[in-house]
Structure 1
Amino acid sequence: MKRSLEHIQYTDDTETLARFAKALGHPTRITILQYLEKQSCCFTGDLVDVLPFSQSTISQHLKELKNAGLIQGEVNPPKIKYCIHQENWKIAKRLFKSFFE
């Protein structure tokens, strides 16, 4: 018998955890987060200097992390300074810890 998931109501925490997990689903994004955690903040160009990817590739990964709410960007024309979104980072840690326990 085939079951449909269309009628399942997910909790806010479940949806948030899934959003964070999806954003963490690429090794480059994990590397970016690890770098940001050590540096507190950086510009895209800083990541281009330490990672073997083009600026456009890094920008795409930054966009995914920002859309998930794991990082935030502060516009300093013509650059954007990125850092970990501390409040959401704490939420992500709590949700992953709870999920794996």
Structure 2
Amino acid sequence: MEKILSALAESNRLKIIELLRDEPHTVGEIADQLGIRQPQASKHLRVLSDAGLVEVNPIANRRIYKLRQEPFMDLDDWLDSFRNVWNERFDQLDEYLQELKEKEQGKE
């Protein structure tokens, strides 16, 4: 999980993920969309690939990058554990606020 989060922490890599969310792209297309040089795009894609977030399909002299589904499912599962904790805490806060409201109404 740490490798995934580290890879996503850099803004250009996050933008690449957002581009690839819609459809696969070549390195050149990614570089053009982000306004960066192709070697920079390749470096970011290598980090994303090492983290398991993207895969490459070579077609002739082009390299087509697309997202891998599994790491995002793992990330969602990990985030889900935090959602459950926060939902429980919000439920507790809601109950506490309801108790306070009832006490205030009882004083009137």
Identity %: 25
Superposed CA RMSD = 1.4
Task: Give the match's secondary structure for 1:83.
Answer: strand
Aligned letter for 1:87?
Answer: E
Q: 1:99 to 1:62 in 2, by over 3 A?
A: farther
Name whichever of 57-66 and 71-80 sits farther off: 71-80
Given the alignment of the two structures, is residue 62 of structure 1 paired with residue 73 of structure 2, yes or no?
no
Aligned letter for 2:65?
Answer: Y
Given the alignment of the two structures, is residue 30 of structure 1 paired with residue 21 of structure 2, yes or no?
no
2:62 to 42, 57, 79: 79
Question: Which residue of structure 1 lines up, in the alignment, with residue 35 of structure 2?
Answer: 52
Higher helix share: 2
Give TM-score scaled by structure 1 length.
0.75
Moved over 4 A (4+): none
Question: Which residue of structure 2 lines up, in the alignment, with residue 91 of structure 1?
Answer: 74
Gaps of 5+ in 2: 86-108
The Cα of 1:99 is off from its aligned counterpart by 4.5
Bigger radius of gyration among the two:
2
Give TM-score scaled by structure 2 length.
0.71
Higher relative contact order (CA 8 A, sep 6+): 1
Q: 1:75 to 1:99 in 2, by over 3 A?
A: farther
Task: Give the match's secondary structure for 1:58.
Answer: helix
Gaps of 5+ in 1: 1-16
